[in-house]
Structure formats: structure tokens, C-alpha cells
Structure 1
Amino acid sequence: MHIAVRRLLVPLTAGAVAFTGLTAPAQAAPQASGKNAAKWQATQLDAHGRIYNDQFDFTDWGLTVDTLIALKATGARPQIAEKSTAYVAAHVRSYNSLDDWGQPGVRFSGATGKLLYLAVATRSNPRNFGGFDLRAESLALMTTSGADKGRFQDQGTTDYSNTFGQSFNVLGLTRSGGVPNDAVKYLVKQQCDVGGFRLYPDAVATACDQATDPVLDPDSTAMAVQSLLAASKAGNKAAGRAARKGALWLLRQQAADGSVQGSGPTAAPNTNSTGLAGQALRAVGQSGLVGGANAQKLRAGAAKAGRWVQALQLTSNNAGQAGGDIGAIAYDQTALTDAQQNGITAANRDQWRRATPQALLVLARTGLDDIGE
């Protein structure tokens, strides 16, 4: 995954197997399951409070931030979260730039927005996070004219900015003092009329419906929906309409068993996409943006997503050879079965610790617009 953060989490493998003919075991309360998952995820942090990838010898800053978001969403391991937050704050430039690699002047908009959101979610000072004013840095990366007006873009390098990064910047700015309307407008342009959002903006077709065969991405849609929900709460009516339309589109993508699939390499039912989508469904279903039967359907969809995710969590009753990793959530049924038979091995551990923090979001029962409040 590129340092610019193309998605909240990108699993290393796909190939999910749908539940067919299986009897699901009795499940614990969703929030308890979510907290157990977060506790396991906390064990993946090293003594510094970071996720370190031993296979490829690098600090995974994006996954470290994902882990912190999971801890704050569930309230698990507060002392570990505090230590990890301090470590990330001391290494802002290691994540949102290439300063460590001797390339000054490079700034990644996705990483900057994600750090800004982390500062808000951890109740840190976004204007002085490790000595950096992340609000100012985010705003400095926003294009102020032309077709890309309102877009947060990478500087000093190839631009990998996308809808995920746009959403994090809008979310972080909204929750830390206000977001420019142009930024919200640009995010809404990534939504096609049917309701879904594309992951990558098109340099030729600024608006989604003007693009040729745009790929609508459930993960990006769930992220954008929660970002726009925050902007709606701050008084932006257009953001509220887009969030409502996006949530209802997500509901239509959900399978009967509660699962949601992503796009591209994640285009099979998986806990990453299901966790994030379920979180968005619940957030909008409880927001008042949607009323009556549709609100009930969104909340019911979130509950179904939660049950599907829980069925892929390691528990004392189903762990088999993975008894040392109770609480972790598999990316899909194939991963769960393999762990039950062989344990979570060094070769596939990274997939588990990428799947778990995003999957548990539907179990935590709090939206990205609320974490830290």
C-alpha cells in the first residue's frame, strides 16, 4: 500500500468464500466482540507503539493509525493508545512526507488528512500534533482553482490522492474547526447519480457521471458517507443529501448474508469492506438524515453486517490452532479456516492485522464522525 493511503486498509489477499450451509455459533454482544478485536490488535503494536512489518522491514504508519482509530472506537487499552499516539505524533514527517528518505518538499495529502483525523479522534491538539499544525498542512494541500478546486493533492511527487484521502481531510477539518465548502463540493463530485463513490478522481472527467464506466467502490463510499455526515452535522445540507444517497447505495450492495464486497482486488465478500460499510449504514441510520422504513433498513443492514463479521472472529470456541490469537478477525472464510487448521503464521499475520481494525468498526457501534467525542 502506498504511503499516501489509498484505502483505510488494503488486504493482501482476496478470494472469499461465502457462508453456505453453515450454522453460525452463538455470538457475544457486538461491542464486546469489537473490544476483544481491538485488544488483539493492540498486541500487534511493538514496544514503541507502532505496527512494524518484519517481512519487509518498515514501520507501517498507516496501519498504526488504523490501530489507534480502532482502540479509540472501542475504548480498549487506553494506556497503550496514549503511548502509540505520542509515538505517531513524534514521527509525523515519517508518514506524510519523504523527509526520512532525503526527499524534502514531498507531502502526501491522504496521510496528512489521516493524521489530522487521528489528532481529533485522540483528543489531541490538531494545531500542534507533534509540533505540526495539521489543519494548516491539510488546507495547504487543497487546490484553490481550476477543475480540481477543493481537491486535496500530493505535492512534490506523483499525485496518488483519492476519495479516501479527500474524505479524511474533510472529516478532520470539519471536526477541528471547519472545512472549506469547495472541499465538500469536490468530494460530492466523486459520487455518481446512483449513489456510489469512485475511488480515483478522473483528470478528464471531474464529476463521476461524466467519466466513462466509473468504478464505484463500496469502501470509498462508506468513507465518504461518514465524512459527509460530519459536514452535514456542521450545517452543510448538500453533504447530508449525498451521505443519505451514498448510504442507501451501500445498502443495495449488501448481500443477503450481510456481507459487502469491495472493488478491484477486494471484489469478493470480506470483513474490511463489510466493517466499514456497516459502520456507515449505522451512522446514517441513526443520524436522522433518513426517516421511516429506510432508517430501519439501514440499521438492520448494519446489524447483519456485524453478525457476518462476528462469524469470522477467532473465539475460544472456534480458534483451533489459533488459540493464541483470540479476538482477531479474519479477512474471509478461507483465512479463518486456514488459521483454525494451522494458526496465524508469520506469512499471513499481516493480513489479519489489516483486516481486524477496519472490520471491528461495525461492532464498535460508533461512526467516524463520533470517535473521540
Structure 2
Amino acid sequence: MVGARTLAHLAATAFLTVAGVVATPTTTHADESSDPDAVSAALWLATEVDDNGGIPGMVGTPDWGLTIDALIALEATGADAETAQEITAALKSHVRDYNSYDAWGVPGQRIAGATAKLLYAAVITDSDAEAFGSYDLRQETLDLVAGPELGLEEGRVKDKVDAPSVDSSNTFGQSLAVLGLSRSGGVPQSIVDFLIDQQCSVGGFRLYPYAFGGGTVTGDCDEQGADAVLDPDSTSMAVQALYAAAEHDSAGALEAADKGAAWLASIQREDGSFGGSGPTEASNTNSTGLAGQALRAAGETAAADRAAAWVLDHQLTSANAAAASAELGAIAYNGESLAAAQTDGIALFQRDQWRRATPQALLALADVSLGEIGLVDVDPGPVDPQPTPSTPGPGAGGPNGQLPATGAPVLPLAALGIGAAGAGLILLRLSRKESTS
């Protein structure tokens, strides 16, 4: 696991640091077999890719943030390399459709979470991050980093938006920036420091660098006081990003990652599941998938296995799919969604939720962290379209997938600050926090 390897790696390797940026070391690729249930889920996602090389969003056009989620799933499992290449090629042609408002006639804007997520997509596909299509994603990400003149915001990877849009860059985007930059030439310490500032002393991370409903950065998480809302999803992202930063000798990263993983282990529910924060507090496969992946990265194998088992209880298999037998491998957001699909199949208006739940949920099953995807050569093994049968658990209900989105702008209103793009802009809808940015 990443946490264990980090200690040995740091003890054995000295890195050259220039102007706060760490030189990227040579990484040895290792072979690893992928979990067949994770592969089945990824193969289902591959069938959802449209002729544009993207996953359709709620309005039917490609949602490039969601598409990157599917790409992450394919790269994490080694499933369907051809579709992964198709998605990568499509992303290279649609960078500005995702990380800007150019298509809506508002030029010059840049969305931090989307930019960082594109950078991460470049590194996990072994693309040139400085020439991803026509774009230098590494430099574009660095251009969004707040300098010391912004005081408490120093190191924040922030949106470049004009009024009336709001800078909603958050811990998801910050984590993806740390992951992408650390693997494409080095991550400045200020960016890592700002991410660590989002961690409260108990170990959990907040989603935003300010109170919900606010907009002014408050300093570190503890300084926010009782208003700080610790978010399991954000913590899972930050833990994995900080393990990756620790591999590149970023100060304080390993200690913060271990502390975050310990907090996740302490809040895991008795049935192995996790919920998010706010309206996503009920147990769901999105939060459980990310948390399980982070726990495995930290070497918390037993806790990670319990999370994976809960996710498996929500996967459609030949034994439990019933009316959804054409959708084997897909993973439901919660027990309510699973039961509805078993009775009526996956209804058209619910399909977006399944497309968002599956890529994040399967991360609990894939034995590879966000920091390792693309560095570990994953063998999907013989393709078996039938996921391992499991007995579905009761689920925990929940708001039908009503989670903050991290996908691309899907409406012209996005240019007015109502849309959602990357981890930086949040739209409550049938989605989840991440896109990944």
C-alpha cells in the first residue's frame, strides 16, 4: 500500500528541490491483477461511452468531468484499453469545453477543479501533461495557484472567474492538483500546505476553506471552529493526494495523510459503509468507494475490505439483477436505487445517478490508489461479464444521489455561476462530489 511504501521510499531516496518544486523520480511499474468485480463495473461504464468519446450528462451531451471518472475507473482496472484511449483522445479535443466558459461566450475564465482533473487524466494515461492536445495542463494548473499576496489563500488552486461567478474551488480540486502536479514535474510546497490547512486536528478535512454559505477563507480548519464540517469524501481525496506528495518528499504530507486515514477508520459505520456530509450523510457507495480506496492506501486492510464488501452488496450481478439483468456490473448509489432497478430496471431518469455512482464506488474494489493509477500495470485478467454474486444489503436510503457535482458545465447558466464544473463549482443534482474534480 502507498503508506507503507512511502516510508521506505523517503528513507532510500533523496530528491532535488528547486524553488519549492520537487524533481520527479523514476517510478518502477509493477504488475497487479485487477479485482474481477471492479473490472465488471468498469466494463459496464465503457458501454455508456457515446460516439463523442464521452459519458452523457443529465442533458444528454458529454459531461467531461463524469467522463474522466469513467477513465479513472478504466485505468484503475485495466479494463477496455481501447475505450480508455478513445476517451483520452476526446478529452484532448474538449479541454476548453470543460475547464472554461468559452462555449457560452464568456472567455478567459478557468475552473480550477476541472483544470486539475484534466491534468490528473493526463498523468494517469501517460499523456504529455504539457501538451495534452493543444494545452499545457501543468502550467495552466500552476497559473491558478494563489501567491503570498493573497494571504490566507496562498497555495490555493483557485478559479479564475469574473463576477457574478463565485470561486468555489475546494478540497477535491486541490487534491487533484497535488496528484497531477506531483507526477508531472513536482508540486510546490505551498499547494500541499494549503491542502493540509483544510485538515482539522481530529484528522478530517473540510470540503471548502470556509464555512458553508461563506466565501472568505478562514485560515486552517481549526480556526474555523465549530462551523467546520468535516467531509469523508474530501478526506479520502486529500489522504490519497498527500500520500502521493509524500512520495515526492513534500513536507508534512505523510503525517497528515496518516492522520486523515485514522479519522476515516474511526468514523466507518458498523456495516462497513460511509456517508458524506450535509445532504449526502446517509451511507452511499460513492463515499464508501473513495473511503475504502483511501483506507487501503493507508494499509488499513480490514477496514478497506469491509468497505468493499458493502459496495459489492450494491452491485448488479446475475444472481440479484432481476429486471436489471442487462446492466450487470453497475453499482447502485444506495439500497433504494438497487431495489428500484431490480424491480423496474434502470429508468432513464435514474441512469445519470448510476453513471456517477459506479466509477467512484468501484475504487473500493480496485487494489490501486489514486496516486498509483497509471504507475501500476494492471492486468484485468480473463473478462468475465458476470460479477461475483452477492446478497444486497438493506441500504440506507438517502437523497437519491443528490450530491455536489464535479463535472463540466451543463447549462449556459453555468457562466452565471449557477452551473457546475470541476471540483471547483458545485451543483446539487443527481451526482456526487467528484468528478473527481
User: Normalization by structure 1: what TM-score?
Assistant: 0.87
Matched residue, 2:256: 242
Q: CA deviation at 1:237?
A: 4.0
Q: 1:58-97 counterparts in 2 under 5 A?
A: 58-97=61-100
Is it true that 1:127 corresponds to 2:135 in the alignment? no
Q: CA deviation at 1:204?
A: 4.5
Is it true that 1:34 corresponds to 2:38 in the alignment? yes
Alpha-carbon distance between aligned partners in 2 of 1:326 and 1:42, rounded to the nearest angstrom: 12
Q: 1:17-28 counterparts in 2 under 5 A?
A: none
Matched residue, 2:354: 352
Alpha-carbon distance between aligned partners in 2 of 1:248 and 1:174, rounded to the nearest angstrom: 23
Q: Residues 264-305 of structure 1, C-alpha deviation per residue, up to 9 Å, x if partnerless?
A: 1210000000000000000111xxxxxxxxxxxx11000110
Alpha-carbon distance between aligned partners in 1 of 2:206 and 2:261, rounded to the nearest angstrom: 14
Alpha-carbon distance between aligned partners in 2 of 1:84 and 1:198, rounded to the nearest angstrom: 31
Matched residue, 2:363: 361
Matched residue, 2:168: 160
Unaligned runs of 5+ in 1: 1-28, 286-297
Q: Residues 344-373 of structure 1, C-alpha deviation per residue, up to 9 Å, x if partnerless?
A: 010111111100000000111100000001
Is it true that 1:171 corresponds to 2:179 in the alignment? yes
Instruction: Tell me if structure 1 keeps the 8 A contact 2:34–2:77.
Output: no
- Matched residue SS, 2:175: helix
Matched residue, 2:203: 195
- Matched residue SS, 2:153: coil
Is it true that 1:331 corresponds to 2:333 in the alignment? yes
Q: CA deviation at 1:160?
A: 1.1
Name which of 306, 313, 319 aligns with 2:315. Answer: 313
Name which of 136, 140, 161 aligns with 1:137. Answer: 140
Instruction: Tell me if structure 1 keeps the 8 A contact 2:203–2:260.
Output: yes
Instruction: Tell me if structure 1 keeps the 8 A contact 2:152–2:218.
Output: no
Instruction: Tell me if structure 1 keeps the 8 A contact 2:290–2:364.
Output: yes
Letter in 1 for 2:53: G
Q: Residues 38-58 of structure 1, C-alpha deviation per residue, up to 9 Å, x if partnerless?
A: 0001111102210123x5243
Instruction: Tell me if structure 1 keeps the 8 A contact 2:152–2:217.
Output: no
Matched residue, 2:50: 46
Alpha-carbon distance between aligned partners in 2 of 1:284 and 1:237, rounded to the nearest angstrom: 18
Q: Residues 85-108 of structure 1, C-alpha deviation per residue, up to 9 Å, x if partnerless?
A: 100111100000011111111000
Alpha-carbon distance between aligned partners in 2 of 1:84 and 1:315, rounded to the nearest angstrom: 26
Matched residue, 2:156: 151
Equivalenced residue count is: 332
Letter in 2 for 1:321: A
Unaligned runs of 5+ in 2: 1-32, 211-215, 376-437
Is it true that 1:115 corresponds to 2:123 in the alignment? no
Q: Residues 291-348 of structure 1, C-alpha deviation per residue, up to 9 Å, x if partnerless?
A: xxxxxxx110001100110110000110000000000000011110110011001011
Alpha-carbon distance between aligned partners in 1 of 2:45 and 2:83, rounded to the nearest angstrom: 11
Instruction: Tell me if structure 2 keeps the 8 A contact 1:191–1:207.
Output: yes
Alpha-carbon distance between aligned partners in 2 of 1:269 and 1:253, rounded to the nearest angstrom: 12
Alpha-carbon distance between aligned partners in 1 of 2:243 and 2:343, rounded to the nearest angstrom: 42
Name which of 174, 183, 188 aligns with 2:191. Answer: 183
Matched residue, 1:372: 374
Name which of 224, 231, 245 aligns with 1:211. Answer: 224
Alpha-carbon distance between aligned partners in 1 of 2:60 and 2:121, rounded to the nearest angstrom: 24
Letter in 2 for 1:206: G
Letter in 2 for 1:32: P
Instruction: Tell me if structure 2 keeps the 8 A contact 1:30–1:306.
Output: no
Alpha-carbon distance between aligned partners in 2 of 1:30 and 1:268, rounded to the nearest angstrom: 29
Letter in 1 for 2:259: K
Alpha-carbon distance between aligned partners in 2 of 1:247 and 1:30, rounded to the nearest angstrom: 23
Greater relative contact order, per chain length (Cα 8 Å cut-off, separation 6+) = 2
Instruction: Tell me if structure 1 keeps the 8 A contact 2:153–2:217.
Output: no
Letter in 1 for 2:55: I
Q: CA deviation at 1:122?
A: 0.7
Letter in 2 for 1:335: S
Q: Residues 215-271 of structure 1, C-alpha deviation per residue, up to 9 Å, x if partnerless?
A: 000000000000000001111240000000000000011011110110012100000
More helix per residue:
1
Alpha-carbon distance between aligned partners in 1 of 2:86 and 2:59, rounded to the nearest angstrom: 24
Matched residue, 1:289: none
Letter in 2 for 1:251: A
Q: CA deviation at 1:30?
A: 7.8
Name which of 277, 281, 290 aligns with 2:291. Answer: 277
Q: 1:7-26 counterparts in 2 under 5 A?
A: none
Letter in 2 for 1:89: K
Moved over 4 A (4+): none
Identical-residue share of aligned pairs (%): 55
